[in-house]
């Protein structure tokens, strides 16, 4: 959109909605009347199909009892693998390389325990200083379990501006001392997309294993993990996959690593045909299923059945295109409507480097987020001064974006935010 000819009218927003081929998917979701939900990058909204598939799995428990493991519409014993098959197209992966299991952090512990094998001078782990804290906690704890001092063995690539990480700085840090790299696909604050293909190629040139945390990219943008040669990946399913709070996460393991023994073995690491032999020697699955640990969280998996069905129908390429259009439109509105109000756009403006949300900075951010909520616009605050706004391609409209920016303008003009303390709530 050309800013010089940008139409900031509500009428134009409605015109964009009329042309939107993905607009019908909004009717699939439960949307609170009068509320504009822009926090789908933290927790996606409930869809009617996710609700339906959850109820169907509950029904199988009621109807079959223990036989639900092998009977009913979605036999539980094979559900993680079946969901892996449905997830694989979103990742550009072979079906056997994907499994739905555990939580993001549990899966990350599994990947570190499996792939981090310090040897000789190659003992260090690399991450970035802007990554989500949970990932750093896992990396540090795994280093300590191996007897290393995280202060010495964990390299965190520094940000030049406090918002983004330059890929050149990551590549420069790939020394002969690094054994293992974990990076986000999309930085959770600024929404910066890292070039996974480039970084994987560079890591492998340096004989380093590399994996990605896909929490802020899966369901929002396409991936080609197998083509890029990525070694492993982990993700949650409650953001752009819209499968509910605490829903079951997933992991990807490149098939070239399938014979690698899981670092944290468990009952569900077993080959399916051997699992109930009850032997004390693990015969591991021959696919990504080997890197499961415990029994699948069946009721937390269930909403994902309906959610993935919606994503398949919408198409990840179409979702990405609309997401970029929504965020472009919102940035232009912000530039047009919020001049002189001391907002800084902290996300990349280049489409190739921007994920599914915008990141505004303002010294009164915590107060502004509270005022937005009072006005029925749901944002996400990130300390110390960040406001994340995520217009989701499946259920948000251009008119909602227009209304949200107008609400923000009103809050600033009328100084509504001043009645709140500039501190975050328990849940930011």
Q: Kindly tell me if the per-residue pLDDT of 1 is higher than 50.
A: no
Which DSSP letter does residue 66 get?
Answer: G
pLDDT band at 22 (very low <50, low <70, confident <90, very high): very high
119-170 pLDDT, tens digit each: 999 999 999 999 999 999 999 999 999 999 999 999 999 999 999 999 999 9
65-83 pLDDT, tens digit each: 999 999 999 999 999 999 9
> Exposed (0-12), middle (13-18) or buried (19+): which is 308, by Cβ within 10 Å?
buried
Interval 246-256 mean pLDDT: 98
**Residues that constitute the known binding site for pyridoxal 5'-phosphate:** 104-105, 132-135, 213, 216, 238, 267, 295
Do residues 252 and 98 lie in contact, with contact meaning Cβ atoms separated by under 8 Å?
yes
pLDDT (0 to 100) of residue 2? 46
- For tokens 């023994």, name the residue: 261
Give dist(CA 389, CA 186) in Å, integer. 15
284-303 pLDDT, tens digit each: 999 999 999 999 999 999 99
Give dist(CA 354, CA 349) in Å, integer. 7
Q: Kindly tell me if the per-residue pLDDT of 5 is higher than 90.
A: no
Q: Are strands 178-184 and 124-128 parallel, antiparallel or unpaired?
A: parallel
Give dist(CA 320, CA 22) in Å, integer. 11
Interval 20-43 mean pLDDT: 98
pTM attached to this predicted model: 0.96
Which DSSP letter does residue 286 get?
Answer: S
pLDDT (0 to 100) of residue 425? 78
**Residues that constitute the known binding site:** 104-105, 132-135, 213, 216, 238, 267, 295
Q: Pick from 50, 125, 81, 36: which is nearest to 379 by CA?
A: 36
Query: In order of start, what are the domains of the chain with their CATH numbers?
Result: 3-30+315-417 (3.90.1150.10), 51-313 (3.40.640.10)
pLDDT (0 to 100) of residue 4? 56
pLDDT (0 to 100) of residue 424? 76
């Amino acid at each position: 959109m050309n800013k010089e000819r940008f139409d900031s009218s509500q009428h134009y927003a409605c015109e964009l909605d009329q042309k939107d081929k993905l607009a019908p998917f909004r009717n699939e979701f439960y949307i609170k009347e009068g509320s504009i939900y822009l926090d789908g990058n933290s927790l996606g909204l409930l869809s009617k199909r996710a609700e339906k598939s959850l109820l169907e799995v509950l029904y199988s428990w009621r109807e079959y009892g223990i036989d639900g493991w092998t009977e009913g519409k979605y036999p539980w014993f094979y559900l993680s693998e079946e969901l892996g098959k449905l997830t694989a197209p979103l990742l550009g992966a072979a079906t056997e390389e994907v499994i739905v299991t555990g939580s993001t952090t549990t899966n990350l512990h599994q990947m570190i325990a499996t792939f981090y094998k310090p040897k000789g001078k190659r003992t260090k782990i690399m991450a970035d200083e802007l990554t989500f804290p949970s990932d750093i906690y896992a990396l540090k704890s795994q280093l300590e379990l191996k007897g290393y001092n995280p202060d010495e063995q964990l390299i965190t690539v520094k940000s030049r501006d406090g918002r983004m990480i330059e890929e050149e700085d990551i590549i420069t840090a790939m020394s002969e001392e690094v054994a293992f790299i974990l990076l986000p696909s999309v930085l959770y604050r600024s929404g910066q997309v890292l070039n996974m293909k480039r970084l994987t190629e560079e890591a492998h040139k340096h004989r380093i294993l590399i994996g990605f945390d896909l929490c802020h990219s899966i369901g929002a943008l396409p991936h080609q993990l197998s083509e890029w040669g990525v070694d492993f990946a982990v993700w949650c399913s409650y953001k752009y996959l819209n499968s509910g709070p605490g829903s079951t996460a997933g992991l990807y393991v490149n098939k070239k690593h399938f014979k690698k023994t899981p670092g944290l073995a468990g009952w569900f690491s077993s080959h399916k045909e051997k699992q109930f032999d009850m032997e004390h020697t693990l015969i591991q699955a021959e696919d990504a299923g080997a890197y499961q640990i415990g029994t699948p969280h069946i009721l937390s998996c269930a909403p994902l059945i309906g959610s993935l069905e919606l994503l398949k129908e919408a198409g990840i390429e179409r979702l990405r295109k609309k997401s970029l259009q929504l965020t472009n439109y919102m940035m232009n509105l912000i530039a047009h409507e919020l001049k002189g109000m001391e907002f800084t756009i902290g996300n990349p403006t280049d489409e190739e480097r921007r994920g599914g949300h915008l990141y505004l900075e303002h010294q009164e951010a915590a107060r502004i987020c509270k005022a937005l909520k009072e006005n029925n616009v749901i944002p996400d605050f990130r300390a110390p001064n960040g406001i994340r706004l995520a217009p989701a391609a499946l259920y948000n409209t251009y008119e909602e974006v227009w209304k949200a920016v107008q609400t923000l303008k009103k809050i600033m003009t009328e100084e509504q935010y001043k009645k709140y303390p500039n501190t975050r709530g328990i849940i930011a």
